[in-house]
Each structure stands twice: as structure tokens, then as C-alpha cells.
Amino acid sequence: MGRSHLSICPYVCPFAMLKLTTVNSLRFRPFGGAVRWRSATAQPAADTSVDPEWENALPFEKIPAPSLIGFLKEFGPFGKYKDGNLYDINKRLRELYGPILRMNGSFGREDLVMTFVPEDFEKVLRSEGPWPRRTGMDSFVYYRKQHRPEYFKGYGGLLAEQGEDWHKMRTIVNPIMMQPKVIRQYVDKVDTVAREFMAIVHGLRDEKQELPADFNEWLNRWALETMGVLVLDARLGVLDKDQTPEVTHFIDLTKEAVTLFYQLDILPSIWRKLKTPAFYRLMRALDELYHLIAARIDEAVIRMEKNPSADQDTLSILEKLLKVDRNAAFTMSMDSLFAGVDTTSSGSTGILYCLAKNPDKQEKLRAELRKIMPNKDSPLTPDNMKNMPYLRACIKESLRMYPPTSGNGRCTGKDLVLQGYRVPKGILVGMGQLVLQREEGYFTRPSEFMPERWLSGEAASGCPSAKEVHPFIYLPFGFGARSCIGRRLAMMEMEILVSRMVRKYDIGWNYDELKYRATLVNIPANDLKFQLKEVSD
Ligand code: HEM
């Protein structure tokens, strides 16, 4: 396979397609002890069937691939798309190279195939096997497995782990983080944070009742504070006006880590061959974060030892994880802080924006909310939240138009033929869902915000139905066994925040169209100066 060309992962996302290193060569102990469950767990049967098209398909190397010069001309520092967001870049790549293209690996990175055809997405995801591989985040993997193996005791975590080790962790965490019963347990706590946030939001408005330019920062803080409650059983204090230096440092470190991941793992970087200053900065930032989070977990352990919960059913997520293993609890909390903050805050931005731009839909949603929340500050409960179909449809529709991640990614689980080309087992395939989700021919009237397309019967009121769309185009939380572990928590968080915002305020937007910019997560490029006029009743 040629490796002479520039490699950049054009469709990026930390969890969806964190492209990068293979860690096959790394040996480690999942539990830090002498016994390796690798030997105790049977390898699931691999799909050994041969793709019937394989024999006559074109070789992998024939898949169109941008040359270094061609790539730089478009996307380099002087190229037309130098500041393009991922949507623009993906669209341009398809225009230039067609519906399938190959980005050659370089400086230790893997090759990546990018496709814009839903039948390919389906083929790849349906043959992912029982231990789906989604490689990426090399620097993350490096930190946990090579730089500080003693901290993690073999637990690479869901984001970074592959194969049997990923499966073991996922089996531990699924019943703890995905059970509706567990999610319901957190409604009140998440609502408490949301109410505090609302009080802050109220005071942030200027004389035009607009929020400040840095409102995105506040949304991030809300998401971080909420995540502290969900996975650390602790109030981090990031919403407090008078922050301790420790809290300020914590916020700065998470931001720095995300920026450095993007530089090292998504943009072209030579760190895998030659350690760069950014690489060392990331290792230092992760060390500091490790110690801050470890201190919180130690506090939680002491709290729990002092006041052991009598009722096993109402143990918190952290308590349940700690009962399995401290390292499992630690890794999962850390992963949630990385994967669950920017995503949830970016998702919430998209929803608020879509509602602000569509006052009729916003009013319709408010009518639904008034039934559940007769007063602006009526409590939200697991019971009354069951009845919010229009809210859920609004969230689905905004995740279609403004998804926090840029598409899905999977390594092929076996040799496959995509669009007449051979793609050997193990190649990372990126899926251009970001483009298709907004494209006529896939979704009808795609540029219109139509929550009704996600409803059925009378509620759909003659609107084109999302059910007619290829089911592998819209996967905001991924697919199958490796899909987002936090999706139920994220939905609950967004439902609570949006309910509170829309019930209390008429949300407006007086500026240019919302644009996202490329980082690990799609984050807003605009100032988020929403206008919030309090509703009278
Ligand atoms: C709107 C918010 C969110 C979106 C759109 C989102 C999206 C995604 C996507 C697309 C994936 C990849 C799935 C796949 O490859 O099939 C993923 C994985 C993951 N997400 Fe989320 N996510 C969100 C919130 C969260 C939250 C709140 C948490 C933590 C509590 C979280 C933790 C994770 C983890 C740990 C993985 C890796 C799962 C695995 O590989 O087994 N995410 N997410």
C-alpha cells in the first residue's frame, strides 16, 4: 500500500472515528492481576464467508486517492477550504474524488477509506462482528498503554480499547449506564443542575436580552457539571461564579487535552515517529487530569465507605462501577468526561438554534411542555418526562441537521467489496453521513427543520417521513454493540435542559446562520448570542 501521500482524517470525531494506531502489539493485563481473562473468554466465531464480489473486484490501491499536491491545493494553508468545516470538506472531497476515496496513511497512521454510499455503511456495519473495531485516538491509547500503564492497570477504556478487552469493559458498563432504570434515577439530580444553570443564564442576558458571545463556554460548563453528577457523584463547581483555582485549572486542562488530541490525532502530525512539543504537552495535561479525577474518585470511595448505600438498586453509576473494580470506575469516569461534555453541549446548541430559527415549532413544543410543566419551574420527573414526543422529535431532527459528531467509522470485520473495490479486513472506513443527512435524495426537504418527520400518524401531519430514509444514514449515536454508551444519559440531559429553556423563554436568533467548525467534535463557530425573552405564563 502506498504511503507517500498526505494523510488527514477529513471526517473526524473523537469517538465516532478516532482514526489511528493499531495496538495489537501492546500486551497488557486487563485487571492488573496475574490472571488474563483473554485466556478464559472464547473468541467469538468470526464471519469467514467470502464476499461474492471479491474475485472480480478492483484492487484496494485503485480506489481514488488525493495526491499531496491536490490535497494541499484545496485544503492546505492557502487552499480555498483551509477554514472549511467538515461538512464543506466532505462535500468537496466527494466532488473531487467521487463516492469512495482513500486517504493514505503516513507517519504511522492507518489508511482510511471514506465512502458516501449508504449501502456501504450498511455493509461495513453489518459485518463488524461481535467485537467491532473503531480505531483512532492513538495519543489516548499511547497515554494509557505505554506512557502510564501503571495508572490504568490494563483498562484501556471503551474509547480506546479493541477486541476482547473492549468487550469485557462494555459488558461491565452496559447494564450500569444503559439501563432506563438507572437513567431515571438521575432525572432529579440532572434537573437540579439545569435549574441552577437557568438562574445563571437569566443573569447573563444583556439589555437586548441576548446571551453573551461566550455562551458556548457556559453550555460546556453545564455539560461538565452534569457529567460530574452522573459519573463522579460530585458537584465539580464549574458553574460557580467564584471558581477555585483548582476548578479553573480543571476546565483549562480538559480544553487543552481536547485541542491537543485534535492536533495530534486528526491533523497530520509526526508524533508517532518523533515526539513533538504538543505530544509532551498532552501527556502532561493527561497526567494532571488523571490526578484531579483520581482525587474525586478517592473522595467518592471514602464517602461511600462512610455511608454505604443500603439499597443495592439505587446505587449510583460510580458506586456500581466501584463494586466491580476501582480501575473500571476510574477509566469509565474519565472517558465520560472526554466523550460526554462537548458532544452534549454541541447537541444542545443545535437544538436551541433550530428552535430559535423556527418559532412555530418552538411554540408547538412549548404547548407540549406546558402540559407537563404547568409553571415555568415545575419539576421534571421520570414519569412526566415519558410524555414528550414532540421534544424527542425536535432533538432527533436537530441531531440530523447539526450532529455533534461527523459520521461513523468502523474497521472492516472481513474482506469486503465496496463500490467494486476490494477493502481488506481491518481497514478503517469513514462514513459520510454528515453530508447525506442534509441532502435531497436522502431526506426530503433536508434544509427544513421538520420534527414531524420523526413522528407517525396524525402527528406527522402530511410531512415526509424519516422512516422512508435508508436506515444507515442517520446514526447520531452510532450503531450496534459499539454505539454510544452515554446516549440515554445524553438524551436525558438534553431533554431536561431544552425543556427548561423553552418553557421559560421565547428563544430567538438575530445573526448569521449557525456554522460548526472542525475539532474532535463539531462545535459552533459563531457567537451563541441567543435572545431570550421570558414568556409570560
Ligand atoms: C449528544 C451527545 C452524544 C453524541 C452525539 C455521541 C455520539 C457518539 C458516537 C457517534 C459514538 C460512536 C459510536 C459507534 O462507533 O458506533 C459514541 C461513542 C461513545 N460515547 Fe457518545 N455521544 C454523546 C454523548 C455521550 C455521553 C454523555 C457519554 C458519557 C456519559 C458518551 C460516551 C461515549 C463512549 C464511552 C463511547 C465509546 C463507546 C464504545 O466504543 O463502546 N457519549 N458517542
Residue 118, domain CATH: 3.30.43.20
**Same structural domain for residues 97 and 114?**
yes
In three-state secondary structure terms, 518 is strand
Mean pLDDT, the chain, rounded, equals 87
What's CA 384's distance to the chain center, in Å?
27
Reported as a pLDDT band with limits 50, 70 and 90, residue 9 is very low
Tell me, yes or no, whether 521 and 424 share the same domain.
no
Summarize the confidence of residues 444-459 as an average pLDDT. Answer: 94
CATH number at residue 317: 1.10.630.10
Are residues 191 and 263 located together in one domain of the fold?
yes
Question: Is residue 349 assigned to a domain?
Answer: yes
Q: Are residues 246 and 383 in the same domain?
A: yes
**119 lies in the same domain as 172:** no
Choice among 4-8, 22-26, 425-429, 470-474 with the minimum mean pLDDT: 22-26
Please indicate whether residue 520, judged by its CB atom, sits closer than 6 Å to ligand 1.
Answer: no
Q: Is residue 264's pLDDT more than 80?
A: yes
Binding site as annotated, residues for heme: 484
Residue 11 lies in a domain: no
Check if 436 has its Cβ closer than 6 Å to any atom of ligand 1: no
pTM equals 0.90
CB 391 less than 6 A from any atom of ligand 1: no
Asked if 369 contacts 378 with a C-beta cutoff of 8 angstroms, the reply is no
Calculate mean pLDDT across residues 221-228: 95
Q: Rounded mean pLDDT of 418-441? A: 96
In this structure, are 210 and 291 located in the same domain? yes
pLDDT digits (tens, 9 = 90+) for 463-512: 899 999 999 999 999 999 999 999 999 999 999 999 999 999 999 999 99
Ligand 1: does its nearest atom lie under 6 Å from the Cβ of 486?
yes
Q: Is residue 253 domain-shared with residue 166, that is, in the same domain?
A: yes
Burial per residue of 336-355, b for 16 or more beta-carbon CB atoms within 10 angstroms, e otherwise:
bbbbbbbbbbbbbbbbbbbb
β-pairing verdict for 428-431 and 112-115? parallel
The answer to whether residues 119 and 238 belong to one domain is: no
Residue 457 lies in a domain: no
Total domains in the chain come to 2
Backbone angles phi, psi at 35, to 5 degrees: -90, 130
Q: Is the pLDDT of residue 35 over 50?
A: no
**Rama region for 60: left / alpha / beta (φ>0; ψ in -120 to 50; rest):** alpha
Say if residue 214 is in the same domain as residue 228: yes
Per-residue pLDDT, averaged over 242-266, amounts to 85
Domain that holds residue 389: 152-405+476-534
Is residue 12 within a helix (H) or strand (E), and if so which, with residue range? none
Tell me if 451 sits within 8 A of 368, measured CB to CB: no
Decide if 1 is inside a domain: no
Question: Cell triple for residue 455?
Answer: 413522528
pLDDT at position 31? 26
Residue in 398, 477, 483 to alter for ligand 1 test, most ligand atoms within 8 A of Cβ: 477
77 CA to centre of ligand 1 in angstroms: 31
Shared domain for 126 and 56, answered yes or no, is yes
Taking 50 as the threshold, does the pLDDT of residue 442 lie above it?
yes
pLDDT confidence of residue 188:
97
Q: Answer yes or no: is 462 within a domain.
A: no
Distance from CA of residue 110 to its chain's centroid?
Answer: 21
First-residue to last-residue Cα distance in the chain: 65
From 124, 484, 521, the mutation candidate for ligand 1 (largest count of ligand atoms within 8 A of CB) is 484
- Whether residue 103 lies inside any domain: the answer is yes
ipTM of the complex: 0.99
Percentage of the chain with pLDDT > 90?
Answer: 60
pLDDT band at 44 (very low <50, low <70, confident <90, very high): low
Q: Is the CB of 333 under 6 A from ligand 1?
A: no
User: Could you tell me if 488 and 180 are in contact, meaning their C-beta atoms sit under 8 angstroms apart?
Assistant: yes
Q: Do the Cβ atoms of 271 and 109 come closer than 8 Å?
A: no
Looking at the structure, tell me whether residues 91 and 235 fall in a common domain: no
**C-alpha span between 188 and 192 (Å, rounded):** 6
Judged against a pLDDT cut of 60, whether residue 36 lies above it is answered with: no
Quick one: average pLDDT of 320-327? 87
Q: What is the pLDDT of residue 403?
A: 95
Whether residue 432 is found in the same domain as residue 295: no
Ligand 1, residue 404: give the atom nearest the CA: 5
Evaluate whether residue 35 is within a structural domain: no
Reading across the β-sheet that carries 409-411, which strands appear in turn?
100-103, 112-115, 428-431, 409-411
Q: Which of 11, 15, 349 to mutate to test the pocket of ligand 1 (most atoms within 8 A of CB)?
A: 15
**Per mean pLDDT, which of 6-10, 79-83, 193-197 is the most reliable?**
193-197
Residue 18 in domain: no
Q: Among the listed ranges 97-106, 182-191, 206-215, 448-457, which one has the minimum average pLDDT value? A: 97-106
What percent of the chain lies above the pLDDT cut of 70? 91
Q: How far apart are CA 492 and CA 487, in angstroms?
A: 9
